């Protein structure tokens, strides 16, 4: 079974041509992120992902994580791999240097996140949540809390979790019942139970810092009455040493479709009345604090969708090159051809390749927007970048995770009957991918966020600006190159359809509360596909410029152009086809009485 190989050349191309890595390195915060430094970081990350994490992916899936008497045991090799990960400084690669982090731009750290998750998604879930907690502590923690917790979280000596979900509430966080009672010493006593807590208990690190949403006495109903608490597995003394075990435990682990090596815990707090927590961000301000962590996680989960699709693609290409079956055009009589020579298999592979490259452009650009939004010296540039990041985040999360499932399924299809047999390993990617559209707010929630909040952001200015930018680019790239002209024509048609859908949303949403939600999911698909086509168009233009300048890497650059042309010809036309579903309205969704949905 072939191991993961990081697509470093493609990653570098995106960082240097879609993302302005050189421009980021001109910002004081990222002055050390020069191209040679970034190249070295990516090379080392590729070694760890391919040599250490990837070989544990299949064995971890088969062995699974287990729990006995509240003690969770990870698969063989897991703990050593985590120690190598932490000792390499990978957990804090994008954290501020003042807290012991690497201070790298998110655009760069997302490339490493992609590698970890392609190599071993179940493993990579642990540091993904820790990084979100770091963001939340930096944004909302007191100086005392930062001093007590951040350094160990940044180094990876401790890990963190996000505790939102309760069995009766699901995505309705406002319905949670976990309680927080004030204590005389200024701390709080937490009581309640949370479900679906990723890495809620494990033995990889010496401490786990749980961030737990709970209600304080007399708090308002719904999300306005939620507060966030730091609840350590082991209490932390003033000198930073570990104290007593807190009153919390892992009750059980969920039996899941995939990510078997990742412990998804049911956590119980305060069974003995003594679970100690510490308020972060102020009372009744928990959702604002948690969204800092969740927005980080949403982009991270979108990267997981890209990553699992990349890994499934590598597996599918490997199989298609080796598996011989049937005669392809030009194959001598009596001989079978590698299935990669069959047109339909090539169609599936190109569908995977083109959408993976589009996702990578989108996600890395999303990271760059956050980098500029938080660090650029010019206020207007910061605001514009933050607006773009707000708009791109639901696209990155929902589109990429939907495609993670779809393209992993395509990889199974390329394997034919053997894809349905576990020993090939491709089925694991399909199983692992299925949680991603559910994580961090289901993709339906991402679509509602897009049409309900992001279209209205700053009076719709960010949306109008992006639509105008894409339309202008499609017009500008027309010229003497027929291949680029074809991309321009398809991009222009997609932008026109997306603009029509956007205008419909603005016109109809105020008049019918179900109008925008009914079309939200296909609208997000329209938007993300169009942006993906736009970014691949930019890739093609840059590749053509490099070829014209005499760049010797002709196969790679011509491949960039061809991939963009395929996406424009085969994927972008789907955008216009989604205009009808977006603008149909909600009447047909509710035309059948809910009691008659089941056939009699």
Tokens of 147: 């001093």
Cα separation, 421 vs 427, in Å, equals 7
Where does 167-285 have alpha helices with state H?
none
Sole residue written with tokens 């991402």: 446
Give 336's DSSP letter: -
Give the Cβ contact number of residue 175 at 10 Å.
13
CA atoms within a 13 Å half-sphere pointing along the CA-CB vector of 5? 9
Phi and psi based region of residue 76 (left: phi greater than 0; alpha: psi -120 to 50; beta: remaining): beta
Contact 354, 567 (CB under 8 A): yes
Residue 234's DSSP bridge partners are: 245
Answer for the pair 455, 387: CB distance below 8 angstroms, yes or no. no
The sign of the torsion formed by the CA atoms of 480, 483, 487, 493 equals positive
**DSSP character for 156?**
T
Whether 122 and 432 have beta carbons less than 8 Å apart is answered as: yes
Coil vs helix vs strand at 290: helix
Distance of alpha carbon 567 from alpha carbon 9, whole angstroms: 20
CB contact at 8 A, 169 and 176: yes
Residue 158 pairs with which residues in a beta bridge?
Answer: 207
Locate all alpha helices (DSSP H) within 49-120, ordered by sequence.
54-63, 78-87, 106-119
Residue 487 near residue 568, CB atoms below 8 Å? yes
Contacts of 42 (CB under 8 A, 6+ apart): 6, 8, 11, 12, 108, 111, 112
Question: Which residue out of 114, 151, 201, 440 is catalytically annotated?
Answer: 440
User: Which residue has tokens 């990155």?
Assistant: 396
440 is catalytic: yes
CA 193, CA 174: separation in Å to the nearest integer? 15
Q: How far apart are CA 16 and CA 22, in angstroms?
A: 7
The set of catalytic residues is 440
């Amino acid at each position: 079974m072939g191991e993961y190989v990081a697509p470093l050349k493609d990653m570098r191309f995106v960082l240097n041509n879609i993302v302005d890595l050189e421009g980021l390195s001109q910002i004081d915060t990222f002055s050390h992120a020069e191209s040679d430094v970034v190249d070295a970081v990516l090379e080392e990350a590729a070694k760890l992902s391919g040599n250490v994490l990837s070989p544990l992916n299949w064995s971890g899936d088969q062995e699974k994580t287990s729990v006995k008497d509240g003690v969770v045991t990870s698969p063989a090799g897991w703990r050593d791999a985590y120690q190598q990960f932490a000792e390499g400084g990978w957990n804090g690669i994008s954290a501020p240097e003042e807290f012991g982090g690497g201070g790298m731009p998110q655009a760069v750290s997302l490339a490493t996140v992609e590698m970890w998750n392609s190599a071993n998604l179940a493993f990579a879930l642990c540091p993904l949540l820790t990084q979100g907690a770091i963001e939340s502590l930096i944004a909302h923690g007191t100086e005392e809390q930062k001093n007590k917790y951040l350094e160990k979280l940044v180094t990876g000596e401790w890990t963190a979790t996000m505790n939102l979900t309760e069995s009766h509430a699901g995505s309705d966080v406002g319905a949670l019942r976990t309680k927080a009672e004030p204590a005389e010493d200024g701390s709080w006593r937490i009581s309640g139970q949370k479900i679906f807590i990723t890495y809620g208990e494990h033995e990889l690190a010496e401490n786990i810092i749980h961030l737990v949403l709970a209600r304080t006495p007399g708090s308002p109903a719904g999300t306005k009455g939620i507060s966030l608490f730091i609840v350590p597995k082991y209490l932390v003394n003033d000198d930073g040493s570990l104290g007593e075990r807190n009153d919390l435990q892992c009750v059980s682990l969920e039996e899941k479709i995939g990510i078997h090596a990742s412990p998804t815990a049911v956590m119980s707090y305060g069974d003995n009345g003594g679970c100690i927590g510490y308020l972060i961000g102020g009372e009744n301000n928990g959702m604002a604090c948690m969204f800092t962590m969740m927005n980080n996680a949403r982009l991270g989960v979108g990267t997981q969708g890209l990553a699992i699709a990349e890994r499934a693609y590598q597996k599918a290409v490997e199989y298609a090159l080796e598996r011989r079956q049937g005669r392809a055009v030009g194959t001598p009589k009596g001989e079978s051809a590698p299935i990669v020579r069959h047109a339909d298999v090539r169609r599936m592979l190109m569908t995977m390749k083109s959408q993976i490259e589009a996702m990578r452009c989108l996600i890395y650009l999303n990271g760059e927007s956050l980098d500029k939004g938080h660090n650029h010296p010019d206020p207007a540039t910061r605001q514009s970048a933050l607006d773009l990041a707000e708009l791109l985040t639901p696209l990155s999360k929902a589109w990429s995770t939907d495609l993670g499932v779809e393209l992993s399924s395509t990889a199974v299809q390329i394997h034919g009957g053997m894809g349905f047999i576990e020993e090939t390993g491709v089925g694991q990617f399909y199983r692992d991918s299925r949680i991603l559209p559910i994580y961090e707010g289901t993709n339906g929630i991402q679509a509602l966020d897009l049409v309900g909040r992001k279209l209205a952001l700053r009076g719709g200015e960010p949306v109008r600006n992006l639509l105008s930018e894409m339309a202008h680019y499609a017009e500008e790239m027309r010229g003497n190159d027929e291949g680029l002209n074809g991309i321009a024509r398809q991009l222009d048609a997609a932008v026109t359809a997306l603009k029509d859908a956007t205008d419909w949303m603005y016109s109809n949403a105020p008049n019918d509360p179900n109008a925008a939600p009914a079309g939200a999911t296909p609208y997000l698909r329209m938007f993300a596909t169009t942006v993906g086509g736009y970014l691949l168009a930019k890739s093609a233009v840059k590749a053509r410029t490099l070829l014209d300048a005499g760049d010797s890497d002709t196969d790679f650059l011509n491949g960039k152009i061809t991939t963009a042309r395929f996406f424009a010809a085969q994927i972008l036309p789907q955008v216009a086809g989604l205009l009808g579903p977006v603008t149909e309205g909600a009447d047909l969704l509710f035309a059948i009485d809910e009691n008659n949905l089941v056939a009699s």
